[in-house]
Each structure stands twice: as C-alpha cells, then as structure tokens.
Amino acid sequence: MSDPLLSSLCRICHINPTKYTCPRCSQQTCSLPCSKRHKVWSTCSGIRDPTVYKPRSQLATPSGIDHDYNFLHSIEHQIERSEKEIVEERGLVKKMELELARQGPKDDRRRPNRSRGNQREDFLTKMLQNSGITVVKAPSGMSRNLENTSSWSKSQKCMNWQIEWIREADAGGRILHKSIDKWSINETYSLLLEEQRRLSMAPEEKAALKKRKADELKENKAKRTKTDEFSLDKSPLSLFQDSTGAWNTILDQSISSNNQNFIHQTHAPPKLDSKYRFYLHRPKTRSSYPKVLIPLDPTQPLSKVLENRTVLEFPTLYVFESDKLPETFMLEKAYIEATGDGPVVESDESEESEDDTSDVSSDGEEDEDEEMEDGEVAP
C-alpha cells in the first residue's frame, strides 16, 4: 500500500489525513487538538470573515446565499442591540432623538422644544434653587444618574429625595432609600432600619407583626370612634359656645389634640439610638485630600441640612457609631483651613447676632424719632 501524499496530511501533526478546514484561513487539520494548536500558533480566531472576496461561482450557491443572509442579519441584530443599550439600558438618548437622528437633516418633522421629562426637570431645578440647594448632574447614562429617582411630592408639597446611605461594612454598607425633606435625619434613618428589620424577619415573625399592627389599628380606630361620638353628642352651638354665650375654644383644642395624638400614634417612626453620628458628603473637593464630611444635627429636617449645600445628583449621608472618623475622611472645617476652599455656611449664631444688631439699630432709630417729636423741630 502506497503512502498518502504529504499534501493530504494534517498541516499540524503531519501524521493523520485531514478532516477539518478552518473557516478563517482554510487551514486543514485532523482533530480538535490540532485545530486548537493551529489557532494558538497562527493567532487565528477560527471565525469566517464575511467580507473576504469570493468568486461568483461560489456566491451563486445555497451556502453562499446563507452566508450573505447571516452576515446582513448579524449587522441588523448589532444595530438593534446598540439602540436598546443606549436608549433603554443606559439612557444616553431619548427614543425620539434617535428617530430624528436616523431621519437626517432633511426630515420635515420638527423637534419639540421641551419634552415632559425636561419640564419636570426644570421644575425640580427651580424648586431646589429656591431652597438654596445646588445639584451637580452626572452625565446621562452613568450609574449615579440612573439611580437618581428624586421627585416632587404633590401631596406633601416637598422634595422626595433619593438618599445614599453609606455605613460601615458590618452595619450593612451602601443602601439607597427615599425620604421627604420634611423628615429629620433621625426619623429617616429609623424608618430605613425598620424596613430592613421587617425584610429580614422570618415568616412567623411577619405574621405576628401583622396581627399586632391590626390589633393596634383596631384599638386606635375604636378610640377615634369614641371621640367622634362624644363630639356628636354635643349640639353644634355647644361646640362653640357655653351657657354664657362665650366662645368655647378649649373644647376645640382638646379635639384637635386628640386627632394629633391619634395621627402621631399611627404614623410616628420608631425611636433611634443616640449612638449614631451623621455626616453629609461634600463633592467636588481636591483629590489629594481625603473625603470631606460635614457633621449634621440629626434633629434637623433634611431641607435644613441641605440648605446652601451642593450634592452630586442626590445626597450622600455617612453613618458612624463613634465620634472619631476613619483616616480616609476629614471634616469640612479642617479641609477649609487647609485649602481655603469655602465659603463656610453661616451658622445660626451669626444669624442671631445679625438679628440682634438689626433690633438694636431699629430701637435706636425709634428713640431718635420720639425725641424729635417731644422737642422742637430741628432746623
């Protein structure tokens, strides 16, 4: 039996006859190990190049038509995938903007001046400027821009902030939570802890909590009904006038206080431990310095805390259980003393001193006016 031709043997091992042909470079091999070795030696991807020239005789075949169809279909699929990524996933452009860009400059349709989303954003910017809050916008499509779900609460007539809470690793790390700016820092964080506690409950604990809440609601409703029945027993005039005909305001105050107590009992947040220390992150500081934090008064509402401050898309609040900060952080006061990057927000004491000065000056002017009235007319 004659030996096989050398050209019919595998181009890698030169032992076995060829069985496979590389779609990329048409290299012939005999097995999978030889094919992998060929890709490593020749740095070949093994993927067919759809743009390589082929003669007409090879195109007018079923396989040639399949190759062309697959090539065109892959281009269409890549375009759809790219559009979905920049519009839906990353939010870099709006769908209308993409359609107008595809039509080109000869399109007769005119681009709308302001969309509904832009009008909402302009409204929020105006409300924040009135409150003295500066919001630095991140580029569209960035993760922080997509995480910003801050909005305007129509019912509360205030901002509903998306807040980034950053805690120590053993305390839960980073978490996003929404809160209206009328609530204090203590109330906001206590509600966050309560929600996390409920989410981590076992099914039995959740059922017991639900039953206890239902009993409390039923009891409060009974108290409210009893108060309403007491008020209905009185005639309309007796609610406002007593036997002497004088207006009875004490009864109105008692009824309103009962209503306030009922609302407070049903909606009051749980009390927060005083061990927590809260800080607001100051963005846009020098990179050679640690992160700059601003100490906060936890009893102040969020609107007061953010007044005359700058945030990156939404506030970032740090929570520590000790007064000493880690080495990777520094207070704003120390940062301003080291760099001079201010100005420092005026404290309440300076505002009170200014008010006292204005009161003294106004009293002095009134005294001078009284002296002019008592004495002779000055020339």
pLDDT digits (tens, 9 = 90+) for 64-116: 888 888 889 999 999 999 888 888 877 777 788 778 777 776 645 555 555 56
Please give the Cα distance from 231 to 239 (Å, whole number).
8
Reported as a single tens digit per residue, the pLDDT across 363-372 is 444 444 444 4
Note whether 127 and 160 are within 8 A (CB). no
Average pLDDT of the residues in 198-212: 78
Return the pLDDT at 106.
Answer: 60
Closest listed residue to residue 124, CA positions, set 311, 277, 379: 311
What percent of the residues of the chain are helix, what percent strand, and what percent coil, each to the nearest 5?
50, 15, 40
Note whether 157 and 131 are within 8 A (CB). no
Domain ranges across the chain: 10-49, 52-112, 116-197+273-346
Strongest mean pLDDT among 68-82, 198-212, 214-228: 68-82
Amino acid letter, 34: C
> The pTM is what?
0.56
Q: Which of 98-112, 234-248, 274-288 is predicted least confidently?
A: 234-248
Note whether 180 and 161 are within 8 A (CB). yes
Reported as a single tens digit per residue, the pLDDT across 116-162 is 656 777 888 888 888 889 999 888 778 888 889 898 888 888 889 99
Torsion of CA 125, 128, 130, 136, to 10 degrees: -80
Note whether 313 and 137 are within 8 A (CB). yes
Note whether 9 and 17 are within 8 A (CB). yes
- Burial (CB < 10 A; 0-12, 13-18, 19+), residue 164, is buried
CATH class of 116-197+273-346: alpha beta
Q: Are strands 291-295 and 329-331 parallel, antiparallel or unpaired?
A: parallel
DSSP at 169 = G
Note whether 231 and 257 are within 8 A (CB). no
Closest listed residue to residue 158, CA positions, set 297, 302, 268: 302
Q: Which of 20-34, 43-57, 138-152, 345-359 is predicted least confidently?
A: 345-359
Q: Which of 107-111, 199-203, 327-331, 335-339 is predicted least confidently?
A: 107-111
For every residue of 64-133, DSSP letters joined together read: HHHHHHHHHHHHHHHHHHHHHIIIIIS--S-HHHHHHHHH-TT--SPPPSS-HHHHHHHHHHHHHHHTT-
The region, left, alpha or beta by phi > 0 then psi within -120 to 50, assigned to residue 308 is left
